[in-house]
Chain A
């Protein structure tokens, strides 16, 4: 019963820090967040960790466990029996303290995504098979683990050139909505930096919601860009997307 787990948690802030070891009694089904809470309650009151729901709905508790971006609330400790569990904040963003990263950049990017633009009045007539594709994107919990692992953002720190996978999913959600009348393709290839992604699929691998980010959002968006900008035949007839034309085609 008195089995223990050893956690090595990063303690520190922008000025620096190091991992500190804590021992916590293991209980059945315990997740990493439970163990972090144990440490908070009994050993380090001021240990900073972000969390809300503890049910993988809110996406607050993203961090790196033994180097892998994961949700603390969804990672079982029995996967690590006999190992020290190293927990560090997401590395792609500036640190605030301990396990809490400053993810504010993501919220700045979010403001740049043009809102959904209904082309027809509600209530919409849409079949389930029309919306299956975009409902996948609606599963996103904005944990930003995909942003954390994206090498464009992580290794090249190209935050001024690429919105990152999360916002490709968000743009895809609006762009592929059967009743949307907006056109985000010019933005995708320019400000959003879609071309920066070279489809290594790391984002898909870490997504706790199992969204096939690369295959179902990024690649189809790249195809739209290619059609509109690089298809030589289309280039001959290229003209701007007309939202009223879309509206009519949707109604008809």
Chain B
């Protein structure tokens, strides 16, 4: 006998249901909400609180406002190179061609970017971008983007369900998406959403790691839901460690220090006062790609040249207080309030922190469709754009470009799919029983403590540095933890119960942690963010593959799928050894 009956469930019906109220979800919803199409958004948190607010440095788009040689080809070149060529080139092409338009669209909707002396949108330098490319608002660009999309969305005919947690994606008789079961966090009451199409925009899973810049939300719920529903996951081993997180005091360990600090001139030193990036990347120095800078800091600390709390020094005092407070007001405030450090007067400690998950749900480039009919994915939850390492500023542009494309994709899908698919009553009732089970477990495992243990395992076995035995041991520990997790228990009522919610999140993170480790074991090379000391080199024969994982019954199946090959007009961009924009400027200089 089910704890709750299907017939008495609160139920909503949408043409397009967007799960996730961050940048990608809001952009998708804005796109899909055309007259006659009913669109709903589900957010695990309140509207406007999503992890998008944490993005600081800017949104990458080749507007060319400062460097007129910039263009989509150079942005394409930078993104493919930094992704170490396992990106889906078509996604990168669409992305670099459309990003500028998406940024201007934000300006049209009320975002106010910093300006150039000519009154255009200001752009700043960032790691491994050939030109100054990141449109920004001080160091709080993500917040501006999210707030702009939030107010755009509420001015349209879109229903927003806040603080609602989806526990399962439901499929129809033909394996197509049919809806989702959820509960309201404020009451603990279940609610059924039926939908013709679902856009998944649930972000990443940085909370799997102990030291992370990620917010509460980033537990990979959406990716895990999709995987359990049969979606294919790709390149899960690719987890980005941002070079500069806060180190001290302990409570703020991992908190992001924007790459904008280095973009605006900040320099990295080891404990001996050596500017070590000159050694690791003499050409790009502090503005090398994130994988390189993070590894460099890690190596310096390993070699005994770390700061008192195990990091590197970052110094921007030479730019002067006025400049720093104007361009990096958030960083100034953050260090002053949380660490008692005035960054206009002294250097400060930074160390790598888990920041972004490049892997995720495998999608088609144009429509963001997954292998499940009617299920689309955009933003950090999706995979393909960033390859083995994401460039700073590309995530905000990602969620604009592919949020819009996923909205369009879902819209096109619902227009030739009638009627609303049926959901299985018994499946819904079984799911309710499953979700309520922890209330019946006495002296069960504490979900908060299991989360801590999961973080320890992943940081120790599948972090910035990896090798085969280390990963194998991690997998064994995860398997043990999974067994214990079946016995998680909660106390209290269903009303706004974070302990109960943690049970669900731990389940999501355990699912994805296993995929990260399995992916890392399968990729026997080092590439981008994936650094294996037993396979220290990038290997061309491995680099031709994306690693795709899905469920085969209850077992995880992993297979190699060929990285899509670039057509010659794109691959030739890499033949000259310099970025297309640089080449063009050199050619012109020669002609003169």
Contact A103 to B109, CB < 8 A, known contacts A46-B499, A57-B143: no
List, in ascending order, chain B residues with CB within 8 A of A13's CB: 495
How far is it, in angstroms, between the C-alpha of A139 and the C-alpha of B138 when the chains are bound?
A: 10
On chain A, the residues within 8 Å of B215 by CB distance are: 52-55, 58
B46-A45 in contact (CB<8A): no
Check B120 for interface membership: any CB of A closer than 8 A: yes
A47 and B137 CA atoms in complex are apart in Å by 36
Report whether B115 and A123 are in contact in the complex, using a CB–CB cutoff of 8 Å.
Answer: no
When A and B form their complex, which 5 residue pairs have the shortest distance between CB atoms, in order from nearest? A29-B249, A46-B492, A45-B499, A116-B110, A41-B448
Select which of B107, B122, B446 is within 8 A of A123 by beta carbon: B107
Looking at the assembled complex, report how far the CB atom of B186 sits from the nearest CB atom of chain A, in whole angstroms: 5
> Are A58 and B249 interface neighbours, CB within 8 A?
no
> Cβ of B152 and Cβ of A138 under 8 Å apart?
no
A124 within 8 A of B: yes
With the chains together, A170 CA to B48 CA distance in Å?
14
Query: Is A113 engaged at the interface, CB distance under 8 Å to the other chain?
Result: yes
A126 touches B492 (CB 8 A): no
- With A45-B498, A47-B498 known as contacts, the answer to whether A55 contacts B334 (CB < 8 A) is yes
| A197 close to B (CB within 8 Å) | no
- What 1/0 flags go to B131-160 for Cβ under 8 Å of A? 000000110101110010001101100001
Q: How far is the CA of A125 from the CA of B147 in the complex (A)?
A: 22
Q: Which of A1-59 contact B (CB under 8 A)?
A: 13, 27-31, 34, 40-42, 45-59
| Nearest B residue (CB) for A108 | B154
Known: A41-B446, A52-B45, A53-B216. A138 touches B137 (CB 8 A): yes
* In the complex, residue of chain A having the shortest beta-carbon distance to the beta carbon of B252: A29
List 23 A–B pairs whose Cβ atoms lie within 8 Å, in order of A's numbering.
Answer: A29-B252, A30-B251, A41-B446, A42-B448, A45-B447, A45-B497, A46-B490, A52-B217, A57-B53, A60-B49, A74-B337, A97-B495, A98-B496, A107-B162, A115-B109, A115-B152, A122-B104, A123-B104, A125-B120, A128-B122, A138-B137, A138-B143, A173-B110
Known: A52-B216, A125-B119, A128-B115. A177 touches B448 (CB 8 A): no
Instruction: Decide if A118 is an interface residue (CB 8 Å cutoff).
Output: yes
Closest to B329 in A: A139
Closest to B56 in A: A57
Q: When chains A and B are docked, how far (Å) is the Cα of A89 from the Cα of B140?
A: 27
- Interface status of B567 (Cβ within 8 A of chain A): no
Chain B residue contacts of A76, Cβ below 8 A? 337-338
Q: Main SS of chain A's interface residues? A: loop
* Interface flags, A135-166, vs B, CB<8A=1, else 0: 10011111000000000000000000000000
In angstroms, Cα B499 to Cα A180, docked, is 46
Using a CB–CB cutoff of 8 Å, the interface residues on chain A facing chain B are: 13, 27-31, 34, 40-42, 45-60, 74, 76, 96-98, 100, 102-104, 107, 110-111, 113, 115-116, 118, 121-128, 130-131, 134-135, 138-142, 170, 173-174, 177
Q: Please, which residues of chain B bring their CB within 8 A of the CB of A98?
A: 496
Chain A residue at minimal CB-CB distance from B144: A138
A123 CA / B215 CA spacing, docked (Å):
33
On whether the beta carbons of B448 and A40 are closer than 8 Å, the reply is yes
In the complex, what distance in Å separates the CA atom of A131 from the CA atom of B255? 29
B66 to chain A, nearest CB (A): 14
Contact in complex: B54, A53 (CB < 8 Å):
yes
- Are A177 and B492 touching (Cβ within 8 A)? no
Chain A residues near B162: list those with CB within 8 A.
Answer: 104, 107
- The chain A residue sitting closest to B113, CB to CB, is A131
Closest CB-CB distance, B528 to chain A, in whole Å?
26
**Residues of B contacting A51 in the complex (Cβ-Cβ under 8 angstroms):** 216
Is B449 engaged at the interface, CB distance under 8 Å to the other chain?
Answer: yes
Decide: A115 and B110 in contact? CB cutoff 8 A: yes
Cβ distance A57 to chain B, nearest Cβ, rounded Å? 5
Q: What's the nearest-Cβ distance from chain B to residue A79, in Å? A: 11
Contact B251 A27 (CB under 8 A): yes
Whether B538 is near chain A, meaning CB under 8 Å from some CB there, is no
CA distance A113 to B154 in the complex (A): 10
With A53-B53, A122-B104, A174-B110 known to touch, is A48 a contact of B498 (CB < 8 Å)? yes
Q: Are B112 and A135 in contact (CB under 8 A)?
A: yes
A111 to B252, CA, bound (A): 35
